Amino acid sequence: MTKPNIKLPPASPALALALADHPAAADAVPASQFTSAMSTLAASVTVVTARSGDSQYGRTVTAMLSLSAEPPAVIVSITRDTDLARTIDAAGRFSLSVLAEDQQSVADAFAGWGPDDRFAVDDWQHWPSGQPLLSGAVTSLDCVLAGAIVLDTHTLYAGIVTHTRSFPDRAPLIWHRRGYKGLDQS
């Protein structure tokens, strides 16, 4: 496995791990059984975006989590060989938008089920850093890339949160059992 070209601060090298080469991989359950089990988890729906120069990309994910409060940091999992991953690597930054219940069209667009211009769906602005900022998201985070771990087909990006914007009165959009739900429907 070769390491991708990731621009990180000198103290934060990318770490590559090949899970498929682990001895336990031979005993792993089939992918369909695993994805069925994972569909029982309820998760907030988040759009990860990054901008470098005139190019900006994004993707809908449920694989986002809080890493630490001091310093404030998050982790997000992105498919390795994508325009979004390359843009995060080039920009050294990314942003997150935790979607509200009424933003299912945004989730669909960034999952690839909408128009080609994903940023034409809803109202997008930019953080002072230049990263995309979705108006009306439950919570939005602007992050500086702090480190990355390459795991087979995905990269885990750790980001230090430099700006936040929250609307705590808005209810989050939830993904559960392969469909969108509201908090009262989960």
Can you give the pTM of this predicted structure?
Answer: 0.87
The residue ranges of every structural domain in the chain are: 15-19+44-168
Q: What is the pLDDT along the chain (186 residues), one digit of tens a residue?
A: 444 455 555 445 566 667 778 788 888 898 889 889 888 888 999 999 999 999 999 999 999 999 999 999 999 999 999 999 999 999 999 999 999 999 999 999 999 998 889 999 999 999 999 999 999 999 999 999 999 999 889 999 999 999 999 999 999 999 999 999 988 754
List CB contacts of 130: < 8 A, sequence separation 6 or more.
51, 93
DSSP 8-state symbol, 176:
E
CATH classification for the domain delimited by 15-19+44-168, as one of 2.30.110.10, 3.10.105.10, 3.40.50.300, 2.40.110.10: 2.30.110.10
Is the preceding omega at residue 71 within 30 degrees of 0, hence cis? yes
Q: Residue 145, class by beta-carbon neighbours within 10 Å (0-12 exposed, 13-18 middle, 19+ buried)?
A: buried
Q: Is 33 helix (H, G, I), strand (E, B) or coil?
A: helix
